[in-house]
Structure 1
Amino acid sequence: MPDSRATLWAMTHAERAALAADLARLDDEQWQQPSLCGAWTVEDVVTHLTAGASTGRLRWLVSVVGARFDFDKHNERRKAEHRGATPAETLDKFTAILDSTTAPSGDTAAWLGEVVVHGQDIRRPLGLTTTPSLEATTAVATFFAERDFTVPSRTLIEGLRLEATDGPFTHGTGALVRGTTIALTMAMASRVAYCADLTGPGLTTLRERIEGAR
């Protein structure tokens, strides 16, 4: 994984810009389509990304304390704050933070992971074919494999061997799970839909863990 925060931020900015380009082609109905992120619509996911890139450590802490550590309430309040009156306004707000380096913590790879994962949460249901860069996805896969952060990624793959078919990412020992780097990354982010893109004797275990954690 790149050890330079500047490199990770540059990749984050590039992935945000790629997502903004995809979003600019959507009609209003597509903005209200379900995403892969629970009950959130496409517009909900975009407002969440805008909120994350607009909220520093202190403001995040104040928001979480104000929500009495109810993270769902915290997220809903911040989404409402950054939603536009129309999808076009919501996109304008997202476009305004494309080059932001503001984040709730210094875990830069996690914030790259936010746009990589949530970008695919939007694209896959809509049939959009844009894929994050292999370099960015490999950095996120490595981060996810090494620790639980916003998702229980490390726990999900404990005792499994992950191997990417399109890049250098490998991790762990045990029953093998193979697939593209983005499919492995999304599975580690608990997106069970991406299990359809994976193979190997460890896949059943991984799928059961994802479904059990939902």
Structure 2
Amino acid sequence: MTRVAMLDDVAAERLALADELEELTEEQWATPSLCAGWTVRDVAAHLTLSTRTTVPRFAWAAVKARGDVDRAFADEARERARRFSHAELVGQLREMARVDRRLRLSGPLDPLNDLLVHRQDIAIPLGHVVDAPVERVAPCLPFIWSAPFVGAAKRFAGVRLVATDCGWTEGAGPEVRGPSSGMLLALNGRRAGLDRLDGPGLDLVRGRH
């Protein structure tokens, strides 16, 4: 059976996001997120799929997207964003807060990592500040570093990463350091995460994002 790691933290993140989304205006829901081509609404809709998508359903979405997994995720999110109102999406996040289920193709920490990163994808363009507890972020750093389809190790090859608030380190070379929240964004391919980091290796990795 599939299970969600750190379910209490996942639930807290889902409920906090629902509270934040509930306060947004129509204009803010339509704001472009940090995910290229995705609005805040699309990201919110994507996060409601975590406990609802099955392997056959996602396989069919990938077929329709001609094997492009990123496009499949985007198509699913946009279709859901069209089907449901803002209030319905917020309600779905609350209903699924403690649902202990994930897509079988994903890892146990994928739901938490997605929430931590996508909350920032929404908050940063809106000028909002979201500070996740370090103890939630820290376990996701080694998880996403070794995730096969994220490419973090390739983008940060040749530098030493140091998360200054939790002690996580990885790699060798000139140092790139900063808070774990910025590090997690950067590992997930968000250039905005690099703005929270510094060190002699930063210029090297900026060209890879």
Q: Which residue of 2 aligns with 1:88?
A: 87
Give unpaired runs (5+ residues) of structure 2: none
Q: Which residue of 1 aligns with 2:42?
A: 44
1:139-173 deviation line (CA, Å, top 9, x unaligned): 11111222333x22121112211111222221121
The separation in 2 between residues aligned to 1:188 and 1:7, in whole angstroms, is 20
More deviation in 101-110 or 80-89?
A: 80-89
Aligned residues: 205
The separation in 2 between residues aligned to 1:135 and 1:171, in whole angstroms, is 18
Q: Partner of 1:177: helix, strand, or coil?
A: strand
Amino acid at match of 1:36: L
- 1:67/1:24 CA distance change after superposition, 3 Å: same
Q: Which residue of 1 aligns with 2:178?
A: 179
Q: Which residue of 2 aligns with 1:111?
A: 111
Alignment of structure 1 residues 128-139 onto 2, 5 Å = 128-139=128-139
- Give me the TM-score of the superposition, normalised by structure 2: 0.88
Alignment of structure 1 residues 142-181 onto 2, 5 Å = 142-149=142-149, 151-181=150-180
Q: Partner of 1:100: helix, strand, or coil?
A: coil
The separation in 2 between residues aligned to 1:187 and 1:202, in whole angstroms, is 13
1:25-81 deviation line (CA, Å, top 9, x unaligned): 211111111111111110010111112331133332233234332334422442244
Instruction: Specify which structure has the higher proportion of helix.
Output: 1
The separation in 2 between residues aligned to 1:53 and 1:44, in whole angstroms, is 16
Per the TM alignment, residue 109 of structure 1 is displaced from its structure 2 partner at its CA by: 1.3
More deviation in 171-180 or 17-26?
A: 17-26
The separation in 2 between residues aligned to 1:87 and 1:106, in whole angstroms, is 27
Q: Runs (4+) of structure 1 moved beyond 6 Å?
A: none
Give unpaired runs (5+ residues) of structure 1: none
C-alpha RMSD of the superposition: 2.0
Alignment of structure 1 residues 175-214 onto 2, 5 Å = 175-210=174-209
Q: Partner of 2:49: helix, strand, or coil?
A: helix
Identity %, equivalent residues: 34
Q: Which residue of 2 aligns with 1:24?
A: 22
- Give me the TM-score of the superposition, normalised by structure 1: 0.86
Q: Which residue of 1 aligns with 2:76?
A: 78
Per the TM alignment, residue 177 of structure 1 is displaced from its structure 2 partner at its CA by: 0.3
The separation in 2 between residues aligned to 1:73 and 1:65, in whole angstroms, is 10
Amino acid at match of 1:41: T
The separation in 2 between residues aligned to 1:167 and 1:120, in whole angstroms, is 19
- 1:62/1:193 CA distance change after superposition, 3 Å: same
Task: Assess if the C-alpha contact under 8 Å between 2:4 and 2:109 holds in 1.
Answer: no
